[in-house]
Structure 1
Amino acid sequence: MELARARLRGARHRPDGDSELTVEAIRRAARHAKLQVLTGVLGNRLVVIAGGSDNPLKVAKALIGPYAAGPVVAGPVVPDLLAATRSAQAAAAGLKACSAWQDAPRPVLSDDLLPERAMAGDRAARDQLVEEIYRPLEEAGSALLETLSVYLEQASSLEGAARMLFVHPNTVRYRLRRVTDVTGWSPSDVRSAFTLRVALILGRLAAGDPQS
Structure 2
Amino acid sequence: MTTEPTEHSEPVDQERPSGDDSRVRAETARRLERAMGALGTAAVARMESRLSWFRQMSAEDRSWVGLVAQSGVAAFVEWFKKSGKGRPAITVEVFGTAPRELTRSVTLQQTVDMLRVVIDVVENQVDELAAPGGEQQLREAVLRYTREVAFSSAKIYARAAEARGAWDARLEALIVDALLHGDREEGLQTWGAALGWSRTPVVAVAGGLGEQGEAGLLEDLRSVARRAGHDVLAGVQGQRVIVVIGVNDKYADDSDPMAAVEPLTGIFGPGPVVVGPAVADLRAAGESVAAAVNGLRAAVAWPDAPRPVLAEDLLPERALEGDGSARRQLVEEIYLPLRNAGSPLLDTLSVYLEYASSLESTARMLFVHPNTVRYRLSRIAELTGYTPSDGRGSFVLRIAVTLGRLAEGTGSGR
Q: Which amino acid aligns with 2:233?
A: L
What is residue 207 of structure 1 aligned with on the other side?
408
Larger Rg: 2
Q: How much is the aligned-residue C-alpha RMSD, in angstroms? A: 1.7
- Aligned counterparts of 1:14 and 1:116: Cα–Cα separation in 2: 22
What is residue 130 of structure 1 aligned with on the other side?
331
Q: Which amino acid aligns with 1:116?
A: E
What is residue 219 of structure 2 aligned with on the other side?
24
Q: Which amino acid aligns with 1:48?
A: V
Q: Structure 2 residue aligned with 1:139, among 318, 340, 358? A: 340
Shift, 1:192, TM fit: 0.7
Paired residues for 1:30-179 under 5 Å: 30-52=225-247, 53=251, 54-179=255-380
Q: Structure 2 residue aligned with 1:8, among 173, 191, 203? A: 203
Q: Which amino acid aligns with 2:219?
A: E
Shift, 1:3, TM fit: 5.3
Per-residue CA distance 1:99-156 (angstroms, 9 max, x = gap): 1111111111111111111111111111110000000111111111011111111100
Q: Structure 2 residue aligned with 1:191, among 392, 398, 404? A: 392
- Aligned counterparts of 2:405 and 2:229: Cα–Cα separation in 1: 45
- Relative to its length, the structure with more strand (as a share) is 1
Shift, 1:79, TM fit: 1.2
Quick one: structure 1 residues 209 and 158, their matched pair in 2 at CA, closer, same or farther if it must change by over 3 Å?
same
- Could you tell me whether the CA contact under 8 Å between 1:33 and 1:62 is conserved in 2? no
Number of aligned residue pairs: give it: 212
User: Any gaps of 5 or more consecutive residues in structure 2?
Assistant: 1-195
Quick one: structure 1 residues 192 and 70, their matched pair in 2 at CA, closer, same or farther if it must change by over 3 Å?
same
Shift, 1:208, TM fit: 1.1
Q: TM-score, normalised by structure 2?
A: 0.49
Quick one: structure 1 residues 189 and 3, their matched pair in 2 at CA, closer, same or farther if it must change by over 3 Å?
farther
- Could you tell me whether the CA contact under 8 Å between 2:265 and 2:307 is conserved in 1? no
- Could you tell me whether the CA contact under 8 Å between 2:198 and 2:231 is conserved in 1? yes
Q: Which has the higher contact order (CA 8 A, sep 6+)?
A: 1
Quick one: structure 1 residues 72 and 39, their matched pair in 2 at CA, closer, same or farther if it must change by over 3 Å?
same
Identity between Structure 1 and Structure 2 (%): 53
User: Any gaps of 5 or more consecutive residues in structure 1?
Assistant: none
Per-residue CA distance 1:168-194 (angstroms, 9 max, x = gap): 111000011000111111111100110
Quick one: structure 1 residues 146 and 3, their matched pair in 2 at CA, closer, same or farther if it must change by over 3 Å?
farther
The residue matched to 2:245 in structure 1 has which SS? strand
Quick one: structure 1 residues 152 and 2, their matched pair in 2 at CA, closer, same or farther if it must change by over 3 Å?
farther
**Structure 1, 177-186 or 62-71: larger mean CA deviation:** 62-71
Shift, 1:4, TM fit: 4.9
Shift, 1:75, TM fit: 0.7
- Aligned counterparts of 1:172 and 1:3: Cα–Cα separation in 2: 51
- Relative to its length, the structure with more helix (as a share) is 2
Question: Runs of 4 or more off by more than 6 Å in structure 1?
Answer: none
- Aligned counterparts of 1:201 and 1:85: Cα–Cα separation in 2: 28
- Could you tell me whether the CA contact under 8 Å between 2:232 and 2:244 is conserved in 1? yes
The residue matched to 1:187 in structure 2 has which SS? coil
- Could you tell me whether the CA contact under 8 Å between 1:3 and 1:80 is conserved in 2? no
Per-residue CA distance 1:7-54 (angstroms, 9 max, x = gap): 111111124333222111112211333322111222211110112234
